[in-house]
């Protein structure tokens, strides 16, 4: 397959517009490095996958600068639109064609008082001052916020530049300290090599934020792989691996075994007595030692049930042979991996050179951005001054508009007076209509309009008269209710006077004698008096019959001397009185009756004592 050159962006001579305006970049073919000569597809397959990288940070910086520029333009456009609307409102004010009488000043009785004028003027000044202060505070906060944001951006750019410079210095140091790998016999190679893949679309060399992370990850994987290979080639073989003396296996004859290879050699020369001492139907010391110390669990399980020396020796030799063969194959794989690693390193170095060139361009573009921000900051300050001047001018225009509005209000009052004069003139013309036969068509039309307005006024007058009639009826009804209340109040006064007379009589004749007379009187007389009082008060007993029935029963219990039951029923009456929703007219009447029951019970208790 033919070599595919890696595309690289052409140098941008006009700063940063290619990123912000998203113009399509031209690409030229760059000659590939002399080494390696493999096609890009093979490189993709060898070094695996790398995540896509983006230019979000640079795009954001450009977008923020464009947003600030658009915001300033938008504010200027809004200011211009507001000025046009204000001019339009001023031009749209009606021009009143007034006669000489309309040009006169308003009548003295319609002029606002001096205090009212001063108060209104003070309110307007206070509102203007408050609006001016709020506007100044808002502008000040906006300027401080903009200045702070620009300063933070500059600090961030400076910090990023320092970090980038430090990173490049560290990368140069690391390149000088690349370890030289030694080829040694290895016990095993890694089961899986994790490589980083360069995208096959050949877009890895781009000025984006993720490129730094990509090369850092690539260096990390390179160091990790180098360390693994170094550990493998410098690690002793497992069959000659040294273990601690306390973990040695000692044969019956005292010979120590330090590894699997020592065990195989010992089995070749061991006598039967020593072998049976370690391997018999009850135990297998060799299997236990392989499992617990050398960690060959599968091999230990395989020889655990083998009792013959030759059979056990054959299994161990086969296992050692497999290990040697596996190590030979893994050594070949490791050497191939090393070769591919060196090729990849050459590609990385070439890519780094490209990256350094792009980073230098980015530094220049960042400086251009800082300069552009400074220019925008100066423009914003100039715009703020212009906005303040425009705001002051707008405030003056608003004052002029308010003055014209006040003048228009006076003109409207003059027009109202003129309309009244016109109405009088129309009335006079209507009276002269019978005697004037030569009235023209124009006068008839005016008279027709006058009749329509007159009907409207008459309809309003009819509505007012209807409302006035309704108010008079309501007034009569209220007066009737007041008379009725006065009558009831007078009746209550009579009842109270009668009770006071009886009280005075009690005081004169003696309380005890009065009680005796009251008890001697038949029940019918008491009921008759109660009925007379109810009749005088005009109480509709049928509205709450259960209440009146309890009142009657309570009085009957008092007459019979059953005062305990009377007290219980009185308590029930009181509770029912407070719980029931009784009409306001009857509430006072029922209350008086319950009060009479209480007085009767109280008198009876005093008499019994």
Is the pTM of the predicted complex or chain greater than 0.85?
A: no
Element at 27 (helix H, strand E)? strand 27-29
Cα-based angle 359, 362, 367 (whole degrees, multiple of 5): 130
pLDDT over 50 at 27, yes or no: no
Cα–Cα distance, 147 to 20 (Å, whole number): 23
Nearest partner of 263 among 221, 235, 229, 293, judged by Cα: 293
- Highest average pLDDT, of 28-32, 69-73, 170-174, 549-553, comes from 549-553
What tens digit of pLDDT does each residue of 522-571 get? 544 554 554 554 444 444 445 678 888 889 999 999 999 888 898 999 99
Candidates 65, 50, 56, 412; CA nearest to 196 is 50
Residue ranges of E strands in 486-542: none
**Residue 14 and residue 608: Cα distance in Å, rounded?**
121
Confidence of residue 121 (pLDDT cuts 50, 70, 90): confident
Q: How far apart are CA 399 and CA 606, in angstroms?
A: 87
Q: Of 3-12, 56-65, 233-242, which gets the smallest average pLDDT?
A: 3-12
Looking at the predicted structure, is the pLDDT value of residue 151 above 80? yes
pLDDT tens, position by position, 261-274: 888 888 888 888 88
Domains of the chain, by residue range, sit at 40-238+331-423, 451-509, 510-608
265 contacts 278 by C-beta, under 8 angstroms: no
DSSP state of 541: G
Q: How far is CA 250 from the centre of its chain?
A: 76
Report pLDDT digits (tens) over 473-515. Answer: 777 877 777 777 777 777 777 777 777 777 777 666 655 555 5
**405 vs 42, residue with greater confidence:** 405
Q: Report the candidate in 545, 530, 529, 556 with the shortest Cα–Cα distance to residue 586.
A: 545
Of 349-353, 448-452, 529-533, 599-603, highest mean pLDDT: 599-603
Q: Is the dihedral of CA 90, 92, 95, 96 positive or negative?
A: negative
- Contact of 343 with 36, CB cutoff 8 Å: yes
DSSP labels, 224-293: HHHHHHHHHHHSPPGGG----GGG-EE-TTS-EE-SHHHHHHHHHH--HHHHHHHBSSS-BHHHHHHHHT
Dump pLDDT digits (tens) for 92-111.
Answer: 444 433 333 334 444 445 56
- What pLDDT, on the 0 to 100 scale, is given for residue 86? 53
Q: Please name which of 248, 174, 273, 201 lies closest in space to residue 6, comparing C-alpha atoms.
A: 201
Provide the 10 A C-beta neighbour count for residue 478.
Answer: 10
pLDDT tens digit sequence for 272-321 = 888 888 888 888 888 888 888 888 888 888 888 888 888 888 888 888 88
Place of tokens 């170095």: 349
User: What was the pLDDT predicted at 211?
Assistant: 61
């Amino acid at each position: 397959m033919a070599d595919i050159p890696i595309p690289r962006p052409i140098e941008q001579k006009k700063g940063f517009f290619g990123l912000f305006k998203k113009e399509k970049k031209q690409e030229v073919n760059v000659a590939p490095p002399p080494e390696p000569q493999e096609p890009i597809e093979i490189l993709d397959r060898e070094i695996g996958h790398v995540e896509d990288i983006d230019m979000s940070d640079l795009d954001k910086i450009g977008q923020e600068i464009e947003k600030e520029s658009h915001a300033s333009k938008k504010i200027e456009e809004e200011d211009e639109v507001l000025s046009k609307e204000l001019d339009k409102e001023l031009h749209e004010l009606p021009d009143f064609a007034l006669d000489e009488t309309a040009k006169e000043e308003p009548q003295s009785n319609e002029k606002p008082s001096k205090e009212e004028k001063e108060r209104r003027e003070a309110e307007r000044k206070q509102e203007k001052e408050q609006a001016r202060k709020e506007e100044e505070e808002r502008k000040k906060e906006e300027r401080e916020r903009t200045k702070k944001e620009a300063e933070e951006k500059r600090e961030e750019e400076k910090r990023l530049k320092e970090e980038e410079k430090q990173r490049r210095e560290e990368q140069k140091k690391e390149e000088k300290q690349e370890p030289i790998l030694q080829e040694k016999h290895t016990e095993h190679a890694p089961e899986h090599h994790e490589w980083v893949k360069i995208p096959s679309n050949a877009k890895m060399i781009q000025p984006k934020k993720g490129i730094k992370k990509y090369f850092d990850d690539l260096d990390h994987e390179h160091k990790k792989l180098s360390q693994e290979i170094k550990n493998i080639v410098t690690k002793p073989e497992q069959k000659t691996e040294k273990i601690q003396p306390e973990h040695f296996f000692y044969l019956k004859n005292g010979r120590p075994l330090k590894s699997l290879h020592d065990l195989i050699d010992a089995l070749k020369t061991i006598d039967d007595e020593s072998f049976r001492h370690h391997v018999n139907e009850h135990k297998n010391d060799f299997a236990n030692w392989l499992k617990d110390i050398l960690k060959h669990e599968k091999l230990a399980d395989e020889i655990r049930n083998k009792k013959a020396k030759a059979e056990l020796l054959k299994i161990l030799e086969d296992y050692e042979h497999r290990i040697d063969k596996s190590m030979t194959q893994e050594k070949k794989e490791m050497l191939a991996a090393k070769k591919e690693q060196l090729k990849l390193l050459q590609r990385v170095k070439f890519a780094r050179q490209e990256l350094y060139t792009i980073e230098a361009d980015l530094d220049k573009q960042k400086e251009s951005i800082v300069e552009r921000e400074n220019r925008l900051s100066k423009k914003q300050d100039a715009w703020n001054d212009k906005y303040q001047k425009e705001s002051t001018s707008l405030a003056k225009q608003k004052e002029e508009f308010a003055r014209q509005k006040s003048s228009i209000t006076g003109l409207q009052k003059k027009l109202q007076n003129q309309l009244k004069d016109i109405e009088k003139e129309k009335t006079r013309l209507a009276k002269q209509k019978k005697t004037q036969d030569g009235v023209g068509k124009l006068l008839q039309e005016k008279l027709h309009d006058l009749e329509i307005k007159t009907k409207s006024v008459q309809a309003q007058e009819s509505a007012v008269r209807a409302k006035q009639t309704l108010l008079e009826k309501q007034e009569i009804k209220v007066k009737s209710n007041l008379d009725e209340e006065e009558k009831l109040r007078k009746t209550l006064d009579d009842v109270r006077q009668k009770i006071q007379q009886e009280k005075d009589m009690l005081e004169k004749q003696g309380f005890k004698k009065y009680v005796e007379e009251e008890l001697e009187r038949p029940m019918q007389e008491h009921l008759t008096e109660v009925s007379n009082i109810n009749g005088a008060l005009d109480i509709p007993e049928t509205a709450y019959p259960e209440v009146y029935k309890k009142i009657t029963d309570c009085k009957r219990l008092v007459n019979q001397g059953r005062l305990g039951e009377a007290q219980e029923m009185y308590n029930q009456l009181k509770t029912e009185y407070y719980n029931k929703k009784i009409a306001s007219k009857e509430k006072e009447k029922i209350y008086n009756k319950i009060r009479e029951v209480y007085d009767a019970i109280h008198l009876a208790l005093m008499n019994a004592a």
